[in-house]
Chains A and B, each alone.
Chain A
Amino acid sequence: DTGVSQNPRHKITKRGQNVTFRCDPISEHNRLYWYRQTLGQGPEFLTYFQNEAQLEKSRLLSDRFSAERPKGSFSTLEIQRTEQGDSAMYLCASSLADGELFFGEGSRLTVL
């Protein structure tokens, strides 16, 4: 499968714990995006990278959230001191420059 891969697909954690999600984009894609989707809402933009550079961050990305793409390939999204409001589906997408975004199947986070 050469699509966008995300793991874990599901994560249940207790409030206050840290969690990390990983995204492996389509190999030749230089752009990588993170979105968050909650029930009844469309995906909301969090941040995006061009190669290893983080070019834009949404106001939704509080200081408890950090994203990295150290070698311009895979990316991680870490949430520190999780809160119940962080429960959502975290979506990753990749693209070639300004081309079509290809989405992964998402990582669902449940904070108890």
Chain B
Amino acid sequence: AQSVTQLDSQVPVFEEAPVELRCNYSSSVSVYLFWYVQYPNQGLQLLLKYLSGSTLVKGINGFEAEFNKSQTSFHLRKPSVHISDTAEYFCAARRGSQGNLIFGKGTKLSVKP
């Protein structure tokens, strides 16, 4: 069965520092990969997605992620975080274009001044 693992439940970081949120997926078939962000009391918002093509994907708010097929990873990165990036981040995978999204358990990013 397809699964998504987010290795860190919480990541504290200081403002303007770089951050990496880790995500690994398990699937024997091609998958589409996504990162969503959830701010307090708000719905999930798509940050970026990998469908095919270039393995480095750029998203909104300065985030990017790299698809690594050999390591089955899709880690999310930002070179310099802001206080406003404090939120919960979810990695998700979808098998092909027809399947539903399978989410990881989420990583809470806490940016401190």
**Which residues of chain B are within 8 angstroms of A104 by Cβ–Cβ distance?**
43
- How distant is A103 from chain B, measured CB to nearest CB, in Å? 4
Let me know if A100 and B46 touch, CB within 8 A. yes
Identify which of residues 31-78 in chain A touch chain B, using a CB-to-CB cut-off of 8 Å.
Answer: 33, 35, 40-45, 48, 56
A48 adjacent to B90 (CB under 8 Å): no
Choose from A56, A101, A105 the contact partner of B42 (Cβ within 8 Å): A105
Residue-wise, chain B 21-41 has the 8 Å CB interface mask toward A (1 for contact) of 000000000000000100001
**A45–B100 contact, CB under 8 A?**
yes
Given A41-B106, A103-B36, 15 more A-B residue pairs with CB atoms under 8 Å apart are: A40-B105, A41-B105, A42-B4, A42-B103, A42-B104, A43-B90, A45-B102, A48-B100, A56-B100, A91-B43, A97-B97, A98-B98, A100-B49, A103-B45, A104-B43
Residues of B within 8 A of A (CB): 4, 6, 9, 36, 41-46, 49, 90, 92, 97-98, 100-106
* Interchain Cβ contacts under 8 Å between A and B, 24 examples: A4-B43, A35-B103, A40-B9, A40-B105, A41-B105, A42-B4, A42-B104, A42-B105, A42-B106, A43-B90, A45-B100, A45-B102, A48-B100, A91-B44, A93-B44, A98-B98, A100-B49, A103-B43, A103-B44, A103-B45, A104-B43, A105-B41, A105-B42, A105-B43
